[in-house]
Structure 1
Amino acid sequence: MALRMVQFFAVVLTALALVPTGAHLFELPNKFNLSRDAYLTVQGMYAGWAFFGIIDLAALVTNVFLAVRLRRQHPAFSFAVIAVLCFVVFFAIFFTWTFPVNQATSNWTTLPDDWSQLRQEWEYSHAVNAVVMLIALCSVTLAVITTH
């Protein structure tokens, strides 16, 4: 029974981690056409989204726990490890590109002169992370359905 709960939470938390990155991915084409002032206004919608980091961290921990629980079940273990690695990549991308841009723009409350380059880094880092999170969701789902 405990394994089923871990599986459930791993899938749900991973799906929730995909939500904000997926939203960013689908917004991307329209946001690149916005003027400086319009972009700054739109970015204001993300105030408070930092709390999604709690879900991301909880999903990582839960997926690690799932991988440990499945260590003797192949291929389920391999899929669980792929999901964990996706979260490691997700956080690496976030702290390499997204977070520094958040700092440079005071979480998009100000726009420095190089705002266009920062926008590109921020938007593309989220787009790549959407793909990474989709792979994580597929992997954890495969880990669950291949468990015996």
Structure 2
Amino acid sequence: MIIRFLAVILTGLAVIAPAAHLFELRHKMQMSEQDYFVVQRIYVGWWVIGLFLPAALIANLALAVEVRGDQLALWLAVAAAALILVNLAIFLIWTNPVNVATDNWTVKPKDWQASRRHWEYSHAVNAGVTLLAFCVATLAALRVKT
């Protein structure tokens, strides 16, 4: 029961940061360069929130082991873990290179608008991916084999 709870809670917590980025996307994409760089300072220290992703991955893998006798629950838990891996891949391919190139938005890149698009839209996609992971983790955790 505790593994089911942790899988749902940790995956739900992993949704928070990308969802926050998604909800602010429309306004941030309209900001001037100067305003955008000021606003980006609010993310200093947010790497800690990213730790929910590996925790959720581990919890969903543990959930898959716990529910392995129920094929549907097993596949739902595996899907949740796979979606978290997709989130991490998106971060590593699109988000983190911008973090590195801009030194976490303290250095202005040559084409800051392209960097902003990669950074913002990768977070927006991850909001959907992680919400889907949360949904399937919840379904796996709630499943009672009949």
- Among 54, 59, 83, the alignment partner of 1:57 is 54
**What is the rounded CA distance, in whole Å, between the counterparts of 1:53 and 1:124 in structure 2?**
17
| C-alpha deviation, 1:55, in angstroms | 1.3
Aligned twin of 1:35? 32
Residue 24 of structure 1 corresponds to 21
Is the aligned partner of 1:81 residue 2:78?
Answer: yes
Deviation at 1:53, TM superposition (A): 2.1
Q: What is the match of residue 118 of structure 2?
A: 121
Partner deviation per Cα, 1:119-145 (whole Å, 9 max, x = no partner)? 000000000000000100000010011
Shift of 1:147: 3.0
What stretches of structure 1 of length at least 5 have no aligned partner? none
> Which segment is superposed worse, 4-13 or 68-77?
68-77
How far apart, in 2, do the equivalents of 1:32 and 1:45 lie? 16
Q: Which amino acid aligns with 2:71?
A: H
Show the counterpart of 1:92: 89
How many residue pairs were aligned? 145
| 1: CA distance, partners of 2:45 / 2:93 | 21
Distance in 2 (CA, whole Å) between partners of 1:76 and 1:110 is 46
What's the TM-score once normalised by structure 2's chain length? 0.97
Distance 1:147 1:21 in 2: 30
Q: RMSD between aligned alpha carbons?
A: 0.8
Q: Structure 2: where are the runs of 5+ without partners?
A: none
Secondary structure of 1:34's counterpart equals coil
Give 1:72 deviation, angstroms: 1.6
Look up the equivalent residue of 1:96 and give its one-letter code. Answer: I
Moved more, 64-73 or 23-32: 64-73
1:44 matched to which residue of 2? 41
Select which of 4, 7, 10 maps to 1:7: 4
TM-score (norm 1): 0.95
